[in-house]
């Protein structure tokens, strides 16, 4: 009887732990193709189309390898997301542009999405998270 109660108690504790952790995922973003190791990557995850490129969770990561830099976002709830990356080579905390507003610093979006005359749309960049996930973004 005592063994049965302990077994049931163990199952209940394990179930509560699993349910408490449900929906808290890790997103690993591997950014590739940096042109230099100068500056910082501005990697931002957005949780909706209404927040796209306006308000998201930002991480600033030094570029220590031109081939690939890994950025990890913790405790991401299940849902639909998009990621944008800027290689801020001069560390001025903005995307520098040249003539006609054309970016002169490398950037990229999840799904390697590209916009025609501006940034990629959320619909082209979005992906689902319902467990730990890894994505790659090639910046240009």
What is d(CA 9, CA 124) in angstroms, rounded to the nearest whole number? 47
Contact 29, 71 (CB under 8 A): yes
Which of 15, 45, 17 lies closest to 137, judged by CA? 45
| Sequence-distant (≥ 6) Cβ neighbours of residue 90 within 8 angstroms | 38, 39, 96, 105
Architecture of domain 24-138: Sandwich (2.60)
pLDDT in tens, 8-25: 444 433 444 444 456 799
Kindly report the number of other CB atoms within 10 A of residue 102's CB atom: 8
pLDDT single digits (tens) 32-84: 999 999 999 999 999 999 999 999 999 999 999 999 999 999 999 999 999 99
Sequence ranges of the domains in the chain: 24-138
pTM, 2 dp = 0.84
């Amino acid at each position: 009887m005592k063994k049965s109660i302990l077994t049931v108690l163990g199952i209940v504790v394990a179930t509560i732990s699993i349910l408490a952790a449900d929906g808290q995922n890790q997103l690993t973003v591997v950014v590739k193709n940096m042109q230099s190791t100068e500056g910082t990557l501005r990697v931002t995850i957005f949780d909706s189309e209404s927040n796209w490129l306006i308000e998201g969770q930002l991480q600033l990561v030094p570029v220590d390898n031109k081939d690939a830099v890994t950025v990890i976002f913790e405790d991401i709830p299940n849902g639909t997301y998009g990621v944008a990356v800027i290689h801020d080579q001069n560390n001025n905390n903005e995307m520098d542009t040249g003539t006609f507003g054309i970016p002169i610093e490398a950037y990229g979006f999840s799904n390697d999405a590209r916009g025609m005359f501006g940034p990629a749309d959320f619909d082209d960049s979005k992906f689902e998270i319902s467990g730990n996930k890894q994505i790659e973004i090639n910046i240009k």
